[in-house]
Chains A and B, each alone.
Chain A
Amino acid sequence: VSYSTRLGARHSTLPLLVPAAALQRAPDSRGAVVDLNVTFAGDGGARVRLPRFEPTGRSGEWQTRLLALPSMLRIDLPAAATDRCNAFQAGPTGGLVWRALTFVGTMGLWIPVYFWWFGRQQAEV
């Protein structure tokens, strides 16, 4: 699969097509063999921020080998004019935000309550 894109922001996200199931494992491997190659038309310090890529040594070319396909590439383009594009789709969060905050709040509450109880017990002693 190849993508040809024009990115306009210094911090950009390139969504990738993801298969509906895990790719078939390569022999003697924990996963598939996925080779990703990125070539920037003009160098200008552009780099792939995520996942981890290595420069090939040729100008503007980056590569990596993974065991599964990532859902996106995060790319830094220092020469671009605007700061960032809107990286994430809008849509329903499924209640993740309030669930996560309730979880953090519950754990945050546990600790002072426990130490308060401990202090009370010590005072009684």
Chain B
Amino acid sequence: VSQLVWFWTAVATYMAVACGIGLWHYRRASDEDGFHVAGRSLGPVVGGATLMANQVSAGATIGIVGFHYYSGISYAWTWPLVWIGWVVCALWVAPKIRRHAGFTLPEFFEARYDSRAARAMCAVFVLIAYTVTLSAQYQAGGLLLALVSGLPFASAAVLVAAMTTVYTFLGGMYSNAYVGVLKAVLLLCAYAFAVPFLWSHVGGLQGLGVALTSIDPRLTGNWFGWRQLISISLALGLGLAAAPYEISAIYSMQSRRAARLAIGWSFLFQACIGFGVLIFGLSARVLVPQLPEPDLGTAFLGTSILPFWSGLLVLLAAVVTFTRTGGAILLTVASAVSHDLYGALVAPGASAQAKVRVGRCAVVLFSAIPVVLALRQLALVNFVVIYAGKLLVSFLFVPVVIGLNWRRATAPGAIAAMLGGLSVCVGWSLLSPNYPLGIDPWEIATATSLVLFVLVSRATTPVRRDKLDVFFPAGDGKPWAGRS
């Protein structure tokens, strides 16, 4: 009972702080610059924490801990492999995106391809993919709250959705950016206290190795083969390079230099968290080899293994993780609805205040839809996150990354790439688990998307040269040259 009281007190305090940040910035967030891109005020460290906070979702603190519990060490290699996607972002995406200085990814589509249809399609597809991603956050949060509080899973998942909605509704990107810093600090502190404790009690790497080998030798070896690891990592990494919420975060930074430095800072944060998550998952398996669900690893460590205050910190960090990432996703969805569908197509003359109001309504509406998916608990949390990543990369990677760097790309090419990529990914997924020739859905979907993109672009009229100046300025040999 004591821990329960402290837990809810800590969660209430966190919510008050998050809402306080939102209200503090309410005046600035009442215009679009404030609500969507934090007034483009984020420096490298806050920006790095924001990028990390977007990536390190409940899929990591609960889902990847569950994956390590279930499959051992091999999945850890996805961290450095996913960073390949960040390097792609730093080299070929972030500088041009930041130079454009828009608000949302669908807006970029209109600017790059001179096409409202491409913008609308991108917005709708983002809504679909992020509904899946958000459901994973709710599922993870629901599992944690259900275990800690004794609430039924359904009530806990609804509570997670409500908590996520509140601060996103109040603060927009300002709240999200600064709660991202809070999340980074909480996560780092939680792992800094908990990992040494676990390390000492399981006997360090040597003790973990002996115990895990005796449970199942595959846990210390290659549960996942390199082919699988590379495929999963590239799906997630290349998806991140074009992910709408990461693009929104890049739009929020002070300059192109700040955007690139922020990626470096996010590596540092992610490395610490990746190691912590690994030790959590492996230690949980050694200490409690037969949990009813692998995804309960973090919650079990927090409630029953770690010392009281350390456990409380871990639980609070997990709560911050899924609400914050859920917030980033909701904000992206709200932007797609208010800025790209309502503001650009439904009511082109709408005032900024009207669009912010529509955005806040969208936060409430699209927060509710993924609850239905979460309640069904379709798979382990991290499997859901991986599938959402595959959906994203299959329709976004080619038109964003190749489109930013290939002048000849056209709107019909982008539309064909998005349609072809998403439909092939969904269709190929229906063949699960025995994919023909072992080809993963995202691989064939992205290849299809690329082929359609090139063929259709070649066969259609190029975009007007003056429309492309912002993305392909004369003499632009060094995309990082200069400051925005």
Residue B196 at the A interface, CB < 8 A? no
Residue B12 at the A interface, CB < 8 A? no
From B83, B153, B305, give the contact of A51 (CB < 8 A). Answer: B305
Known: A72-B287, A103-B77. 11 other contacts (CB 8 A): A50-B287, A71-B211, A88-B211, A89-B214, A92-B213, A93-B205, A94-B219, A95-B220, A96-B208, A99-B73, A125-B480
Chain B residues touching A, majority SS:
helix
Smallest CB gap from B217: residue in A? A94
User: Closest Cβ of chain A: how far from B200's Cβ, in Å?
Assistant: 9
Question: Which of B243-251, B267-275, B408-416, B449-457 lies at the interface?
Answer: B267-275
Residue B293 at the A interface, CB < 8 A? yes
- CB neighbors of A among B56-113 (8 A): 73, 76-77, 79-80, 83, 87, 90
User: Closest Cβ of chain A: how far from B289's Cβ, in Å?
Assistant: 5
- CB neighbors of A among B285-329 (8 A): 286-293, 296, 300, 303-308, 311
Residue A70 at the B interface, CB < 8 A? yes
From A32, A64, A87, A115, give the contact of B292 (CB < 8 A). Answer: A32
Residue among A30, A70, A87 facing the most chain B CB atoms (10 A cut-off): A30
Residue total for B at the interface (Cβ-Cβ under 8 A): 62
Tell me if A91 and B268 are in contact (CB < 8 A): no
Smallest CB gap from B219: residue in A? A94
Residue B207 at the A interface, CB < 8 A? yes
Smallest CB gap from B74: residue in A? A99
A32 to chain B: which residues have CB within 8 Å? 292
B209 to chain A: which residues have CB within 8 Å? 92-97
From B73, B290, B296, give the contact of A103 (CB < 8 A). Answer: B73
Q: List 23 A-B contacts (CB under 8 A).
A: A20-B290, A25-B292, A31-B291, A49-B201, A50-B305, A52-B303, A52-B311, A67-B292, A67-B296, A69-B288, A69-B290, A71-B287, A72-B287, A88-B211, A92-B209, A92-B210, A96-B209, A99-B221, A103-B80, A111-B267, A111-B268, A111-B271, A118-B261
Smallest CB gap from B79: residue in A? A107
C-alpha spacing A71/B210, complex, angstroms:
14
C-alpha spacing A42/B213, complex, angstroms:
37
Tell me if A88 and B206 are in contact (CB < 8 A): yes
From B79, B80, B221, B267, give the contact of A94 (CB < 8 A). Answer: B221
Residue A81 at the B interface, CB < 8 A? no
Residue A41 at the B interface, CB < 8 A? no
B146 to chain A: which residues have CB within 8 Å? 30
From B203, B264, B303, give the contact of A114 (CB < 8 A). Answer: B264
Tell me if B290 and A21 are in contact (CB < 8 A): yes
User: Closest Cβ of chain A: how far from B222's Cβ, in Å?
Assistant: 9
A23 to chain B: which residues have CB within 8 Å? 290, 292
Binary interface profile of A, 31-45, with partner B (CB < 8 Å = 1, else 0)?
110000000000000
Tell me if B264 and A68 are in contact (CB < 8 A): no
Residue B481 at the A interface, CB < 8 A? yes
C-alpha spacing A97/B201, complex, angstroms:
17
B interface residues (Cβ-Cβ under 8 A, vs A): 73, 76-77, 79-80, 83, 87, 90, 143, 146-147, 152-153, 201-203, 205-214, 217, 219-221, 257, 260-261, 263-264, 267-268, 271, 274-275, 278, 286-293, 296, 300, 303-308, 311, 478, 480-482
User: Closest Cβ of chain B: how far from A23's Cβ, in Å?
Assistant: 7
User: Closest Cβ of chain B: how far from A99's Cβ, in Å?
Assistant: 6
C-alpha spacing A66/B296, complex, angstroms:
12
User: Closest Cβ of chain B: how far from A119's Cβ, in Å?
Assistant: 10
From A70, A95, A121, A125, give the contact of B288 (CB < 8 A). Answer: A70
Residue A57 at the B interface, CB < 8 A? no
B306 to chain A: which residues have CB within 8 Å? 52
From B90, B210, B257, B291, give the contact of A90 (CB < 8 A). Answer: B210
B287 to chain A: which residues have CB within 8 Å? 50-51, 70-72
Tell me if B205 and A125 are in contact (CB < 8 A): no
User: Closest Cβ of chain B: how far from A68's Cβ, in Å?
Assistant: 5
Tell me if B206 and A100 are in contact (CB < 8 A): no
Residue among A64, A89, A90, A93 facing the most chain B CB atoms (10 A cut-off): A93
Tell me if A52 and B308 are in contact (CB < 8 A): yes
C-alpha spacing A99/B146, complex, angstroms:
35
Tell me if A89 and B205 are in contact (CB < 8 A): no
B289 to chain A: which residues have CB within 8 Å? 18, 71
Tell me if A97 and B205 are in contact (CB < 8 A): yes
From A31, A91, A106, give the contact of B296 (CB < 8 A). Answer: A31
Tell me if A68 and B288 are in contact (CB < 8 A): yes
A3 to chain B: which residues have CB within 8 Å? none
C-alpha spacing A61/B161, complex, angstroms:
41
Tell me if B278 and A100 are in contact (CB < 8 A): yes
A106 to chain B: which residues have CB within 8 Å? 80
